[in-house]
Amino acid sequence: MEIARNWQEYEILDMADGEKLEVWKNVKLIRPDPQIIWKEKTFPALWKTADARYNRSSQGGGGWKYTKKIPQNWQIHYRDLTFNIKPMGFKHTGLFPEQAVNWDWMRQKIELEKRPIRVLNLFAYTGGATVACLAAGGSVCHVDSSKGMTEWAKENVKSSKLEDKPVRFLIDDVVKFVQREIRRGNHYDAIIMDPPSYGRGKNGEVWQFENQIADLVELCLQVLSSKPLFFLINSYTTGISSKVLENILRLKLNLKKGKITCGEVGLPMKNSDLALPCGIFARWEM
C-alpha cells in the first residue's frame, strides 16, 4: 500500500465502528467509511472534540450534525498546492487526501521530462491531479460532466496561483469527448482517469465501471501520443482488485517498453501503526 504520509494539514486522529475522526487544517469531522469494520477506538476521548459528524439515513443519504460553528468553506494546503474544502451533502469534502501519493508520483514524472507534457485528466472532479500536473509544468485538459465540480476545480487552480498555466476545462461526457478528440487528431502524453462506480453524463449518459472501463482504456489509446509518459487509473469501486486494473492495462496497452504497477492508496492514523485503505490504482509509466 502506498500511504500519503506527507500531509501537514490533514490527519486521521482515530477510526472505529465504521467511522473516521479526521482533522482538516483545524476543523474536526467524523465521516463514515465502509472499510472500518473494527469496533475498538484507540483514542475515545478525541471523538468528543469533533466539530461535525455526517450521519447516514436509513432511507439513504444523510446529513451533517454540527456541534460547533465551522466555516462554510476553508482552505487546506499540500506542499505548494492549495485546495478549497467544504462539507457536501453526501459526506464528501471535495478532496481525497490519499490521492497525494499519485500527485507526487505524476509531478515527479513530469518534472523529470525535458519536454512539454500534455495531460488528459478524465472524470477530473475538483482537480487535485489537474493542479498537481500544472504545478509540475504540464498542460492539462480537464474533463468532467459536472459543472459544479468543474467550477470547484477552477477555484483550486486559482487558489494554487496556477491560473496562468495552460489548462482547458470541459464539462462533457468523457467517452464522447475522447471520441471527438480522436476525430480531431489530438494526442496526449499522459492520461489520468478516476471513473466513478456508476454515474451519468450531462445528457444522461450512463457510466458503469465494470461494463465500460476496458472499452474506455482502449478508446484512450487512440489519443495517446507517440512518446507517452504515463497512464494512470484510479478506482474506488467496491469489489474490484488493483490487479484487475493492471490486467486491463497489460491487455489493452500491449506496449513493449515501460512498466506497469498496481496497488492500494491509503492514509495513516496519527500516533498509531494503523493505516486506512482508501482506493486502488494501476499505472503504466515510461
pLDDT 10s digits, 218-271:
999 999 999 999 999 999 998 999 999 999 999 998 777 899 999 999 999 999
- Mean pLDDT in residue range 273-283: 97
- Mean pLDDT across the chain: 95
Which of these CATH numbers, 3.90.1310.10, 1.20.120.1200, 2.60.40.10, 2.60.40.1180, describes 2-85? 2.60.40.1180
Q: At residue 114, does pLDDT exceed 90?
A: no
Q: At residue 34, does pLDDT exceed 70?
A: yes
Q: Which three cell numbers stand for residue 162?
A: 496556477
Q: Specify the pLDDT at position 104.
A: 98
**190 within 8 A of 109, measured Cβ to Cβ:** yes
Task: Give the confidence band of 108 by pLDDT, cuts at 50, 70, 90.
Answer: very high
> Nearest Cα to 284, choosing from 241, 240, 248, 236?
248
Q: Specify the pLDDT at position 201.
A: 64
Q: Specify the pLDDT at position 121.
A: 98
- Mean pLDDT in residue range 49-70: 90
Q: At residue 202, does pLDDT exceed 70?
A: no
CA geometry: angle 200, 156, 50, nearest 5 deg: 85
Q: At residue 10, does pLDDT exceed 90?
A: yes
Q: Specify the pLDDT at position 257.
A: 86
Q: Which three cell numbers stand for residue 272?
A: 498509531
Q: Specify the pLDDT at position 109.
A: 98
Return the C-alpha torsion angle 240, 124, 156, 119, nearest 10: 110
Q: Specify the pLDDT at position 26.
A: 95
Do 2-85 and 97-285 fold alike per CATH?
Answer: no
Work out whether strand 74-78 and strand 139-144 pair parallel, antiparallel, or are unpaired. unpaired
Task: Give the confidence band of 100 by pLDDT, cuts at 50, 70, 90.
Answer: very high
Q: At residue 211, does pLDDT exceed 90?
A: no
Q: Specify the pLDDT at position 206.
A: 75
Which residues are paired to 64 by β-bridges? 54
Taking the C-alpha atoms of residue 84 and residue 93, their distance in angstroms, rounded to an integer, is 9
**124 within 8 A of 98, measured Cβ to Cβ:** no
Taking the C-alpha atoms of residue 167 and residue 140, their distance in angstroms, rounded to an integer, is 5
Which residues are paired to 207 by β-bridges? 199
Q: At residue 42, does pLDDT exceed 90?
A: yes
> Can you give the residue ranges of every domain in the chain?
2-85, 97-285
**93 within 8 A of 99, measured Cβ to Cβ:** no
- How far apart are the two ends of the chain, measured CA to CA in Å? 21
Which residues are paired to 118 by β-bridges? 139
Which CATH architecture group holds 97-285?
3-Layer(aba) Sandwich (3.40)
Q: Specify the pLDDT at position 105.
A: 98
Q: At residue 205, does pLDDT exceed 90?
A: no
Q: Specify the pLDDT at position 55.
A: 93
What are the E-state strand segments in the chain? Answer: 2-3, 10-16, 19-24, 27-32, 52-56, 62-66, 74-78, 81-85, 118-122, 139-144, 167-171, 190-193, 198-200, 206-208, 230-235, 259-268, 275-285
> Nearest Cα to 190, choosing from 241, 137, 237, 149?
137
Q: Specify the pLDDT at position 33.
A: 96
Q: Which three cell numbers stand for residue 122?
A: 478524465
Taking the C-alpha atoms of residue 236 and residue 197, their distance in angstroms, rounded to an integer, is 7
